[in-house]
Structure 1
């Protein structure tokens, strides 16, 4: 039986605008970083532009191509595109250029924030380095170009550590595994989840099952955290849970999640966070998600 439910989303959205010569669809800094980091560890191959081997400009060209932005093939050519940006005003997604040969622009990377770039280096392949590295990159820095305007497409706490907390993409991934869903299709139908996203198959399966149907803008918001109240709604729908026999109530549950939280508690899936509270607005951790899913799956 198909399950239909729209998860409440509290997010604001901005558009991704490419340079005048290019037209790009909506995207975010998180999406760019996600795509770029999937290349990490790819070996360096001069003239290459695939995950079997790539050079620096082949890497940047491929990453931006997935966002709908066409870059010139060489680092020198890419340096001729976009708008110059000072080092103090760098933003995620800016191209950063270096003179590694002694004769002008010879290396390009993608700035990913906090003074770091990701690039295809001849020695280590695609790796993350500091652009201010005093032993190499710092003295070879030439400049930066903004070839597209990116902005955060999702409202979220910048301090969220996703090695501790669960993103919406991770929730979809873990549920797809627990439910043993077919994840072969990577066409998600969500405008902010491309078929190349590492969890595209799981997210597509979530939509097919009606567990996640997206927000009013057709977005899944894969890089946003998710609250415990929202996860309660997801779990009840995903596992088709019914009211159990255990009696427990909480003082901090919003009306929209009251029934779902009650069902979890009545089945022993949750006991709250103490002091009579469920922690409805707390972001769910990866450990909590694992416990919730394991307990819910055990009831099937």
Structure 2
């Protein structure tokens, strides 16, 4: 008998192999269903064995031949050792009792089953789990897999009916050995969101079910949608809210579950996570928090524990009301009693914890009454006034918050006041200030108005406190402009006039790790560019009054910023024609930190003494210095500097043209260049005025005199740094101050 049985097992195993791709698993599963020896083991062990599927299918003919050899050996093994058993002693299938629960057994319990003979009352035993189960907890995942249809079918239980109600789920199975099984997941008494589990198995019977199996091919996943409250609904009574949704349109529905949350992130983060709703398509919630926005979602849970989101995964929201008036709040901007404000101000105020809407009133009569109209802003905490205010006129304003219960005025009903100032001369594109290079200005932009229609990637909203400049280059080149050292968050937008709307050339928000801005833009000769500078508007409620102190710098060099203290001197040196910088393409550069050589110093000093157009005499047969050949680029300048008595070189017959110039050397060169080669400074006296230059220093008198004439203030902290090398930025200051360059 065992040989026949095992031969059948092998055939079933190969059939299972065709479905699962795993022959070994098919053998184990089929043997577990049919072998009396295995039937004596508990069902949990069988299920764990069945779930250990191999991930690599045997696909080659060689492996199949090896398996055939093993099969033959196993047949003989079972023939030799298996005990005899009568054909009528077949035991029943193992009862699926989940081992992780505590069970109570009730024998001789009747169930009515629909069979081929009609409704039949059968006797069996009921096993009731003593624990209440949260089916939406991760701890229940293993239990739900244990009772899935596909898991039970592997043990021979075929689903014949599935009943889904508002109170729970009932699944009825039949086993070919002649047994019925009913698995009940029902709402627990006292807490319907939890599940109570019981399992009933009949005694053996020859009565067959109405249908052999309810198993069908997989169908397309269905849909469902939330119904009420409508998405974004307001003024929902927090005492009682009913959530409802449509029925799931697909097959294999097991139950519904819902989540309500206060965080808008499309994820269920509330205490308790998802909540079971069984077959109900609505649920009523009580005592929600008032004046709160809630976000909610519903899912259909299928028999295989797949979850289908309502509305394609989109969460809905609603807001509740409370039974008290809005909480106290205050007005923010403009500050009370502020003057010189914009004629297009932004009114802002705090949020009231329980308000559903706000309205403001602005008036010219100081009587704490709205003689005009209250203007609603909905839930917005700000209002921008784009017209209607006159410079020099005091305005009085108030805000009130409203909910379903009442109204609360801001600041305990006290009205605030502000007075607009006169618009700036360059407040509008039509009155833009013309600029040249270099250019600098410092203005207070708080009275400036808002420009609409100029939104751009650097300022998504309309430009607060905008002012305008225009630039028309006479040659192709670059425009370097910044707002460094301004005291608010600026943006720069460069426009070209066009119809029907202007064209944005370039814009910049934050630059050089600051809240200020800078642009480096190529410009075309003869083209007029309009430059808007405003307080950046991120389309959020401002927290400070727009505008402030705006510093605008238009520069000649990319590498010398407007907040560089050397910038004015470098621009003066360029304007005087003494130098045009260290590079011209692709950008104009000055190289401010590059150390000055003695050869470069000769050129700087002679041009400072004689003017930018000065050219030294031809060098002749010799420069007078053995290390400066006559073909050196600065040979004539070096020879002339020595001829005028400004320098005698760096040693016997040497000039050291590529050597650096120290600050001590500069003191002597500058004073001789200014006063003549015969000049000698006054005696140093008791102090040089610098901590790092003692009176015994060889150039102490020269250094002290350089400071006395206002050419230097030292290098900081009351020091002169006599041995430090002079860079190009410092040289610019020395030359401008020594020769009074414009």
Q: Which has a greater percent of helix?
A: 1
Larger radius of gyration: 2
Q: Tell which has more relative contact order, 1 or 2 (C-alpha 8 A, sep 6+).
A: 1
Q: Normalising by structure 2, report the TM-score.
A: 0.17
Q: Normalising by structure 1, report the TM-score.
A: 0.42
Q: Which has a greater percent of strand?
A: 2
